[in-house]
Amino acid sequence: MDDPSSRPTKKPAIFLEGDGTLNVDCPYCRSPDQITLYDVFGPLKELSKDYLIIVVSNQSGVARGYYTEDEVKAVNEKVRREVEKRGEVGSTPSTTALTSQKRGAPAGSRRPA
C-alpha cells in the first residue's frame, strides 16, 4: 500500500521577475559583474517555507544578438551562488525559466511585459 508520508509535498509557487525584484534592473546585462542584488533574502526565506520560488525572465537580448545564452546562464549562476552563499533563503530558487524571444515574436513563451 502507498505510504502518504513518502509522497513529495506539493507547494504552491510564486513566480518572480528577477530584474527589479531580486536584482537592480540592468537592461541587457551580459556579465555577472553587472548584477547587484537587493536585500530581499529575509522575506524570501519566509516565503520559501510554504512556496516554491521560481524566477522568470525575458531575455530578448539573446535574440537581438546583444549577448549569448551562455552569458545569461553565467548571470543566473551568480544569482544562484549569491543566494546560496547568504544562506538566508530556505533553498535557492526552485528553478529559473527564461525566454530569449523578442517582444512580438510569434511563439508565446514570453511572460507578459
**For 39-52, how does the pLDDT look when each residue is reduced to its tens digit (9 = 90+)?**
888 888 888 888 88
Q: Are 88 and 50 in contact (CB under 8 A)?
A: no
CA separation (Å) from 87 to 51, 81, 94?
Answer: 17, 10, 15
* Single-letter amino acid code for the residue at 64: R
How is residue 87 written as a grid cell? 544562506
Distance CA 56, CA 54 (A): 6
Q: Are 34 and 28 in contact (CB under 8 A)?
A: no
Q: Are 37 and 23 in contact (CB under 8 A)?
A: yes
Chain mean position to CA 60:
15
Q: Kindly tell me if the per-residue pLDDT of 91 is higher than 50.
A: no
CATH 3.40.50.720 fits 11-99, yes or no: no
Tell me the pLDDT band of 102, cut-offs 50, 70 and 90: low
What value does the mean pLDDT take over residues 75-97?
A: 66
Calculate the CA dihedral of residues 28, 53, 7, 4 and round it to 10 degrees: -160
pTM over 0.85: no
